[in-house]
Amino acid sequence: MSSSPGSMGSSPDAQSSSPDAVGSPPGSVRSSPADSGTPSAGWVLTGWGTALPEKVVTNDDLASYLDTSDAWIAERTGIRERHVGGTTAELAAAAGAAAIERAGRRAEEVDFVILCTTTPDQMVPATSADVAHRLGTTGGAMDLNAACAGFVYGVVVASSMLQAGLRRVLLVGADTLSRITDWDDRGTAVLFADGAGAVLLERSETATGLLGWDLGVDGSARPLLYCDHGGYMHMDGREVFRRAVRVMVSSGRTAMERAGTTADEVALCVPHQANLRIVEAANARLGIPMSRTALVMDRTGNTSAASIPLALADAADTGRLSPGDKVLLCGFGAGMTWASAVIEWHG
């Protein structure tokens, strides 16, 4: 496993470049902060960290036994390699420890741990309990499952906790999708992978942190991407692509509107790393160029709830973010869930 301080993805066999017009899906439920009032306190992001398994599976590795090739996979997904191995708790704890270290804090100073995951190590207890134990934190901990939108859901939940009086919340996105992937299925084997990313959020009386957000779910889309207990991932790639673009655009616009900002003012978009074609199509409609978009999917694959913090950490590590920057986070995943948030960078 390598660590550094610091999904939905449509099947390449069935993609569409012409998603429906943007708008909330019929039957969808959307959360709104309109009646929440002015936050009494905000937060700053003081630390970040990542963890990836040491084992790397390249496109050529998959092409050695599947009817595919490196060029075929890369052209349709943007992915060239992915990391596989470890448990969700191992990866989450490694990323969390790196985030705490970068922030210059000790584990016992963390008030709460939120683990965003769709692949817990056990049904009971919550994997966050194991993560908290490994880290040595002394506050509460819980799992949050909103699939590939989970990390952005976690940002909103953590913000609420900090506004309610907590001092520090460790937010982790971690998934081990390789455990629920059928490696003989070309439509999914080329997409999914394992990894973790974490951030430490600290209460602030002067910074805002979360500027605007949008959360939603459309349960009628549940059959499009699912995994039963003891089974493997099943996905309707064409419909996933169409809906993913639609909800990413709609949710991203809503979050920016609530934040009182525009696409031109967004310094960086950090989308769920599902599929390059989805991101390109959505960004074109949002009006955010790919030059202002954080991408790591070429070397990580789709890591579900880990993908956004992995891309955010990479952007921070490579000097793409400056204090005061407005950052748009966009997630979408099974459920169908979606989530967007505009945050102010102070890392």
Instruction: For residue 272, indicate whether it is catalytic.
Output: yes
Instruction: For residue 148, indicate whether it is catalytic.
Output: yes
Strand partners of residue 52: 2
Structure tokens, 163 = 């506004």
Instruction: For residue 302, indicate whether it is catalytic.
Output: yes
Phi and psi at 168, nearest 5°, equal -145, 135
- For residue 342, the surrounding DSSP H or E stretch is strand 337-344
- For residue 277, the surrounding DSSP H or E stretch is helix 276-286
* Catalytic hit among 59, 83, 116, 148: 148
Spatial separation of the C-alpha atoms in residues 140 and 132, rounded to whole Å: 8
Phi and psi at 328, nearest 5°, equal -100, 120
Contact predicate 173/198, CB 8 Å: yes
* Catalytic hit among 272, 275, 283, 330: 272
Nearest to 200 by CA among 101, 271, 129, 291: 101
* Catalytic hit among 83, 302, 330, 346: 302
Structure tokens, 95 = 């990323």
Helices and strands (H and E) in the chain: how many: 10, 15
Nearest to 9 by CA among 286, 292, 230, 300: 300
Q: Which residues are catalytic?
A: 148, 272, 302
